[in-house]
Structures are given as structure tokens and as C-alpha cells.
Chains A and B, each alone.
Chain A
Amino acid sequence: MNLINRYVYAVTRHLPHSQRKEVADELSSTIQDMVADRAKDKKPSTKAVESVLKELGNPDTLALQYSQGPRYLISPKWFAIYWRLITKLIIIVPLIFAALALVGALIGQNTLIQIMLTTFGAGLGAAVQVAFWVTLIFAIMEWTQVEPSKTALTSDWSIEDLPELPKKRQIGRADSVANVVFVTFAFLLVMAAAIVPATWINASVPVLNPSLLPVWILLFAGLVVLELILEIFKYRIGNWTPALAIANVLLNTLNVIYFVTLATTQVVVNPAFTNLMRAQLGDKLDQIAQWPLIITITIIVISCVLSAVESVIKSIQLKKS
């Protein structure tokens, strides 16, 4: 009997108070019926009770069957929308915060380890926040029985809600956004490299030559602004119209002129930085010193040329179609 009482207690302890007594009484009564049935006319033994209880199974599982509340945090009604939203946000938001933290850490003159930790920490923190708040809001909407709007996944669908077919664009939306982000980021990095001591490689001076300030850096800023404006037009127009292609070619030409002139007429790397490196690397410095700049400029020139050529080709294709 004690075993039966313990089993019944194990099942009913998680149930709401209102149900408890009734369920306990019925369950106890049933178990005793089952035991009596097994034992036939003999006196019920502990073994019989044990085998009945084993047959009934895990009391927690039984208790679960009795529970009546919703068995989900976010039901199918909201889940599809929730999942789409959170998978997008959890990539974009942490990236933004990590990028901001990176720039801030560079400006704040930290060591490399500190920069890496700060960036990663900002990204991770942002990801956790996104996961928590988005889930919480959807769970609350679920709990308070808010209904999705008409344009979401409901059966109140009408023909007017059909989306237009996406127009074929030569310039992808995602590409434009990525370009803007990349250019802005590059600009910030260059500014940091020009002004801020490069503590992340244990240097106490900026990497770029301070004599480049203000003229050359301002010219660079001007090019960045032109590039951003061009990106906005690219995004709005979506295809390589002749005007857009010409503008792109012009801008890339300007870029090439700027960078080649910069590389050939100016000392780009800070002499103080070079001296520091010489102190660390000695004669090896003279062998490798020119290469970073040459490689960078080559890459920039090649990508400008490619971009210009691509825009012209696509513009011609557009005219043909």
C-alpha cells in the first residue's frame, strides 16, 4: 500500500491542486483493481504491486499525460515568422556590433588580443540579446493570443496579397548593401590607420604617414563619398544603364589615378613606423618593405579596372535585351 501511495504521489505532485485529489483517488483505486486482478484470490503481494507499477510506467510520463496546458513556447502559428526573423537578425546584428566594436577597439589603441576579444565579445553579446528578446516577444505574443496580421501566414488570404514577380536586376540588392558596408568599413580603417598609433602590433605610431594629412586623406574621403553616392544610384536603378556605367567607369578611373599617384609620389608608410620595424627586423626590412604597398595598389587597380569593364559589358548586354 505504501508503494501505491508513493507512486500516486509521484504522479500527482506536479499536477495543479484542483486536480490532485480526484486524480490521486482514481489512480489509487485503479492500481488496487489491477493488483487484485493479478493476484486473483490470493493475498496481493509486494511483487504483484511492483509489477503493476512497472507496467504503468514512469510516473513523470503519466503526469505529463494529465497536463492540459500548451506544450510549446511558440506554436506553429507564429513559429515560421519567428524563425525567419531570428535567423536573419542573429547574423546581421552581431556583425554590426562586432564591426563597431572593432573600429572602437582600433581607435582605442588596444593590443591585438584585446581587439580580438572585444570584437568577439561584442558579437556574442549582441547575438545573445537578439536571441533572448526576439524569443521573449514572440512567446508573449503567443501567450496573449495575438493573431498574426493579414499579410502573414493566415487563411485570410486574398488575391491582392500576391507579391509582384521580382524584376531581374543586374545589380543584386545584397551586393549593394555589402558594398556600402565594405566601403564604409574600409574608410574607417584607413582613418584609424592614419591617425591612431598601431598598438595592436606594438607600435606607438600610426602606420600611415602623417604628412598624408590632410590633403590626401581628404581626397580619399571624397572618393569614398562619391563611391557611396554611386552605390545609392546603383541600388535605386538596379541595372547598368549607360549613364550608370559611364559614372562607374569615371569613378574607377579617378580611383586608379589617385592610388597610383599616391603610391608613386608620396611616402605612404609612416617613416617613424618604418624605423620601428627596422629596429625589430633589421636588414630583412629592405627586402620586404616595398611589397605590401605594391600588392595593395595592384589589387586596387585591378579591381577598379574589372569593375569598370564589368559595368560596360553589362550595360551593353542590357541594351541588347
Chain B
Amino acid sequence: MIIQSFYNLLLQYCMPHSIIQNMNEIFANQVLELRRGTIVLAILSTLSQPRYGYGLLQALDDAGVAVDAGTLYPMLRRLEKQEVLLSEWDTSESRPRKYYKLSDNGQKLYAKLLAEWRQTQNNLDKMISKEKI
């Protein structure tokens, strides 16, 4: 009896807190999904000129689309495997550094992705302005 009432009290206190926690998690997850969806486009957009790995990291950071190294480098590898990017080692300086550039396929892909992105933006904006939330 006492245990039950104590449990109810605990639940009443913890429940609102846990709901708020959930909303934060939900928001964080959705933001993650949004960024995941746009990361490839962001990377391709910076490669109008060949870039070193670290330079890519900085460019993205400067543009406000920061990606952490642990995500960026494996993704660059994957894109290279898919023949979207080409890579070369620059051995001209004291330390060899790897740099990336868009392949022909990569350029075509980027153009199509960009068009798709603009279309999506337009559609979403139209829909949102109609809904007026």
C-alpha cells in the first residue's frame, strides 16, 4: 500500500520530465536525419576545386555545415569507391597529403542532385507558406 503510493508519487514527478527528455531526443534525431540527407550534396559542392581532406573539413566548417572527421573520411572513401570522387596523393611537399576531386560521374551527379535539391526546396517552401503554421 505504502509502496504503491510511493511509486505513484515517483511516476507523477518523473513523467513530465521524461516527456520533455523525449522531445529533445526526438528533435535531435530529426536534425540528424536532416543533416544526413544533405551531407553528400554539401561535400560535392565544396569540390569545385580539388581539396585536401583537412581542407574539406575546414571548408564545411566555415560554411556552417560542420561534419566531424569520423563521418567525413569514411564517406569520402565510400564516394571514391562509387567513382563519384577521385583521389591522389600529393607528394610534392615534405609530408604526403591526399586530395580529392570530382570525377566526371561526380560532376554529373552533383548537377542532378543540385537540381533535385532546389526542386525540393521550392516544393517545401510552397507547401509551408500555404499551411501558414
B60 to chain A, nearest CB (A): 14
Would you call B70 and A62 a contact (CB within 8 A)?
yes
Would you call A65 and B54 a contact (CB within 8 A)?
no
> What number of B residues sit within 8 Å (CB to CB) of A?
18
Pick out which of these stretches binds chain B: A30-38, A279-287, A296-304: A30-38
* Separation of A62 and B97 alpha carbons in the complex (Å): 20
B4 to chain A, nearest CB (A): 30
Would you call A65 and B95 a contact (CB within 8 A)?
no
Known contacts: A32-B95, A33-B54. The answer to whether A66 contacts B74 by CB under 8 A is: yes
Q: Does B62 have its Cβ within 8 Å of any Cβ on chain A?
A: no
Interface residues in B39-69 by Cβ distance below 8 A to A read 52-54, 57-58, 68-69
Nearest opposing residue in chain A for B98, CB measure: A26
**Could you say which of B57, B58, B74, B95 contacts A29, with CB atoms under 8 Å apart?**
B95
* Separation of A37 and B69 alpha carbons in the complex (Å): 15
Nearest opposing residue in chain B for A52, CB measure: B69
Would you call A26 and B73 a contact (CB within 8 A)?
yes
- Chain A residues contacting B95 (CB-CB under 8 Å) are 29, 32
Nearest opposing residue in chain B for A62, CB measure: B70
Interface centre among A30, A55, A66 (most CB of B within 10 A): A30
Q: Does A25 have its Cβ within 8 Å of any Cβ on chain B?
A: yes
Nearest opposing residue in chain A for B58, CB measure: A37
A-B contact pairs, 5 of them (CB 8 A): A30-B57, A33-B53, A37-B54, A55-B69, A65-B71
Given A33-B54, A65-B73, A66-B73, 13 more A-B residue pairs with CB atoms under 8 Å apart are: A23-B77, A25-B89, A25-B98, A30-B73, A33-B52, A37-B54, A56-B69, A56-B70, A57-B70, A61-B70, A62-B69, A62-B70, A65-B70
The 4 residue pairs across chains A and B that have the minimum distance between CB atoms: A33-B54, A65-B74, A62-B70, A66-B74
B residues adjacent to A (C-beta < 8 A): 52-54, 57-58, 68-71, 73-74, 77-78, 89, 95-98
